C-alpha cells in the first residue's frame, strides 16, 4: 500500500517515528534498533513508519534499510532533501515516501522534487509550519500535507496554531473528489492531544520523541491511539479534575446548564494533556473550553442527545439517556449510529465494558455513578472506571 493511502482510511492513523536524537531535545534513544522498532510498531498498529536518515538525528540510510527488512508498512524517509539523486537512492533503500520541507525549499525546487518523487513511485509529505507555507503547499498540489507544531527555527511548540492550520488545510479541500490527507506532526504526548488533532481534521499524527522517550515505544503507540476516550463529566472541583487526570481520563466535562445539580461555575483549568468540554443546554456560550457539548432544551430540561463541537464544527454525537429516565434499547440504538459516538448514560465500572463491546464508541462519558453526591466525585470510582475502560 502507498504511504498516502495507508493514512487515508477511517479513524486516526499513526506514523511512528524512529530517531535516536533530536536537535531540540538531545539524545532520545541512542541505542535504537530500527529493525526491532519497525517490527514492534507494525504489531502495535502503526499505519506507517518514519525513519530519520540525517546524521543530525544520529540517523542514516542504513536505518531505512534495516527497517525495510522487518516491516511491510510504508516507510517515510525524513531528512533535508534538495536533490533528485537523493530521492532515487532513498527509493532503492526501501522508502515509500520522502519529507519535503517548505521551510528549506522555494516553490521551484519543491515542484521539481515533487515531480521527481512521483516519477520514482514515491509519495511526498510536504511539510508546512505556518499559514504562508500551507498556502504554498496547497498551491503546489501537495497530498499529503504535514502541519508541524514545532518551529524548526526556535524549536518551540504551538499546538493551537497547528490545530488551526490542520482545520484550514481540511476545509480548503473539503468537497472535492479526492480529499487531501493531512498529518499533524510533533507535540503529541497524550491520547487527548492526538484526539484534538483528529477533531481538527487530521487523518494521521506523526509521533517521534514521545515514543522514543517511552520505556516501551510500542506500548506508548498503542496508548496514544487507543479508543474509546474517557470523559469524566460533572466536574465542579479542582481536586476532582486532578483525580480524573491521575486516573488517566482524556476529557474533563463541566456542566454550565442552570438546571443541573452538577452545575460548575466555570470551566476549570485542566492539564495540557487533557481536553476540556463545556456542557450547555439550549444555548452555547464561549466558556474558554477546548470543546462544547450542546443539548437541546425540552420541557425545561436537556434533551436526550447532544452535539460535540470544535469551534463551529460538529465533530461527534453524544448519545445519552432521556432526562432522568431509562431505555433498555439505548446501547442497541447507539450501536447503529455512524460517525464518532460519545456514549453516555449511567455508565460505571460495572457496565462500561459491556457498553464498549456493544457500541464500539469513540468515547465514553460518565458522571453520576462516579459520585458521592452531585458534583462531588469519588477518586476510587473514577480510577476503577478508567481501568475498566482500558481493560
What is the DSSP code string of 340-386?
-EEE-SS--TTTHHHHHHHH--SEEEE-GGGEEETTEE-HHHHHHHH
Residue 258 confidence (pLDDT): 85
Out of 17, 42, 86, 133, the active site residue is 17
Is the model's pLDDT at 300 over the cut of 90? no
Is the model's pLDDT at 366 over the cut of 70? yes
Residue 125 confidence (pLDDT): 98
Is 346 in the active site?
no
Final residue in a domain of this structure, among 193, 225, 257: 225
Instruction: Indicate if 8 and 113 belong to the same structural domain.
Output: yes
Total domain count, the chain: 2
Out of 22, 50, 60, 78, the active site residue is 78
Helix H or strand E encompassing 51: strand 48-52
Handedness of CA 198, 200, 133, 19 (dihedral sign): negative
Q: What's the mean pLDDT in 90-109?
A: 97
Instruction: Indicate if 83 and 99 belong to the same structural domain.
Output: yes
Residue 173 confidence (pLDDT): 53
Task: Give the whole-number percent of the chain exceeding pLDDT 90.
Answer: 87
Is 223 in the active site?
no
Cβ distance 76 to 95 under 8 Å?
A: yes
Instruction: Indicate if 88 and 186 belong to the same structural domain.
Output: yes
CB-CB neighbours of 55 under 10 Å? 10
Query: CA 377, CA 371: separation in Å to the nearest integer?
Result: 4
Is 139 in the active site?
no
Is 175 exposed, middle or buried, given 0-12, 13-18 or 19+ CB atoms closer than 10 A? exposed
Is the model's pLDDT at 170 over the cut of 80? yes
Final residue in a domain of this structure, among 199, 225, 251: 225
Residue 189 confidence (pLDDT): 95
Final residue in a domain of this structure, among 197, 225, 253: 225
Instruction: Indicate if 340 and 259 belong to the same structural domain.
Output: yes
Residue 30 lies in domain:
3-225
pLDDT-derived band at 334 (thresholds 50, 70, 90) equals very high
Out of 42, 133, 185, 198, the active site residue is 185
Out of 50, 60, 148, 367, the active site residue is 148
Instruction: Indicate if 325 and 216 belong to the same structural domain.
Output: no
Instruction: Indicate if 256 and 213 belong to the same structural domain.
Output: no
Query: CA 389, CA 391: separation in Å to the nearest integer?
Result: 6
Instruction: Indicate if 281 and 148 belong to the same structural domain.
Output: no
pLDDT-derived band at 104 (thresholds 50, 70, 90) equals very high
Instruction: Indicate if 9 and 157 belong to the same structural domain.
Output: yes
Q: For the chain, how are helix, strand and coil distributed in percent, rounded to 5?
A: 35, 25, 40
Is the model's pLDDT at 176 over the cut of 60? no
Is 186 in the active site?
yes
Instruction: Indicate if 85 and 136 belong to the same structural domain.
Output: yes
Closest to 64 measured CA to CA, from 34, 86, 22, 44:
34
Out of 86, 127, 133, 371, the active site residue is 127
297 grid coordinates = 432544551
Cβ distance 75 to 8 under 8 Å?
A: no
Which of 13-27, 167-181, 229-243 has the highest mean predicted lDDT (pLDDT)? 229-243
Closest to 290 measured CA to CA, from 201, 170, 160:
160
Which residues have a Cβ under 8 Å from the Cβ of 339 and sit 6 or more positions away?
Answer: 316, 317
Instruction: Indicate if 178 and 54 belong to the same structural domain.
Output: yes
Is 387 in the active site?
no
Q: Is 139 helix (H, G, I), strand (E, B) or coil?
A: helix
User: How many Å separate Cα 102 from the centre of its chain?
Assistant: 23
Residue 175 confidence (pLDDT): 45
Q: What's the mean pLDDT in 69-88?
A: 96
Instruction: Indicate if 141 and 279 belong to the same structural domain.
Output: no
Out of 22, 50, 60, 186, the active site residue is 186
Q: What is the CA radius of gyration of the chain?
A: 22
Instruction: Indicate if 216 and 237 belong to the same structural domain.
Output: no
Which string of b and e fits 252-280 if b means at least 16 CB within 10 Å?
A: bbbbbbeebebbbeebbebeeebbbbbbb
Pick the residue with more confidence: 88 or 23?
88
CATH code for position 10: 3.20.20.70
Is 351 in the active site?
no
Amino acid at each position: 500500500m502507498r504511504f498516502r493511502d495507508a493514512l487515508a482510511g477511517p479513524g486516526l492513523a499513526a506514523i511512528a517515528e524512529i530517531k535516536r536524537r533530536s536537535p531540540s531535545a538531545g539524545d532520545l534513544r541512542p541505542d535504537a534498533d530500527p529493525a526491532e522498532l519497525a517490527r514492534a510498531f507494525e504489531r502495535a498498529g502503526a499505519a506507517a513508519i518514519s525513519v530519520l536518515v540525517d546524521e543530525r538525528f544520529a540517523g542514516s540510510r542504513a536505518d531505512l534499510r534495516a527497517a525495510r527488512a522487518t516491516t511491510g508498512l510504508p516507510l517515510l524517509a525524513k531528512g533535508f532533501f534538495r536533490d533528485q539523486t537523493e530521492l532515487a537512492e532513498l527509493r532503492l533503500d526501501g522508502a515509500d515516501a520522502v519529507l519535503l520541507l517548505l521551510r528549506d525549499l522555494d516553490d521551484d525546487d519543491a515542484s521539481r522534487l515533487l515531480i521527481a518523487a512521483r516519477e520514482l513511485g514515491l509519495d511526498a509529505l510536504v511539510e508546512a509550519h505556518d499559514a504562508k507555507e500551507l498556502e504554498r503547499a496547497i498551491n503546489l498540489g501537495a497530498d499529503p500535507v504535514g502541519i508541524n507544531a514545532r518551529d524548526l527555527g526556535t524549536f518551540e511548540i504551538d499546538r493551537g496554531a497547528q490545530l488551526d492550520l490542520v482545520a484550514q488545510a481540511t476545509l480548503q479541500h473539503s468537497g472535492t473528489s479526492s480529499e487531501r490527507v493531512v498529518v499533524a506532526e510533533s507535540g503529541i504526548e497524550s491520547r487527548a492531544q492526538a484526539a484534538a488533532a483528529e477533531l481538527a481534521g487530521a487523518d494521521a499524527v506523526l509521533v517521534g520523541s514521545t515514543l522514543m522517550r517511552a520505556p516501551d515505544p510500542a506500548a506508548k503507540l498503542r496508548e496514544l491511539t487507543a479508543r474509546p476516550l474517557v470523559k469524566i463529566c460533572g466536574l465542579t472541583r479542582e481536586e476532582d479534575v486532578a483525580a480524573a487526570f491521575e486516573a488517566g481520563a482524556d476529557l474533563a466535562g463541566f456542566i454550565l446548564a442552570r438546571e443541573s445539580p452538577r452545575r460548575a461555575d466555570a470551566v476549570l483549568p485542566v492539564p495540557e494533556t487533557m481536553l476540556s468540554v463545556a456542557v450547555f443546554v439550549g444555548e452555547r456560550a464561549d466558556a474558554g473550553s477546548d470543546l462544547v457539548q450542546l443539548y437541546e432544551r425540552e420541557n425545561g430540561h436537556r434533551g436526550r442527545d447532544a452535539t460535540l463541537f470544535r469551534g463551529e464544527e460538529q465533530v461527534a454525537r453524544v448519545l445519552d439517556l432521556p432526562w432522568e429516565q431509562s431505555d433498555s434499547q439505548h446501547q442497541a440504538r447507539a450501536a447503529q449510529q455512524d460517525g464518532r459516538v460519545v456514549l453516555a448514560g449511567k455508565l460505571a465500572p460495572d457496565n462500561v465494558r459491556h457498553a464498549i463491546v456493544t457500541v464500539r464508541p469513540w468515547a465514553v462519558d460518565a458522571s453520576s455513578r462516579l459520585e458521592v453526591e452531585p458534583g462531588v466525585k469519588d477518586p476510587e470510582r473514577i480510577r476503577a472506571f478508567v481501568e475498566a475502560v482500558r481493560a
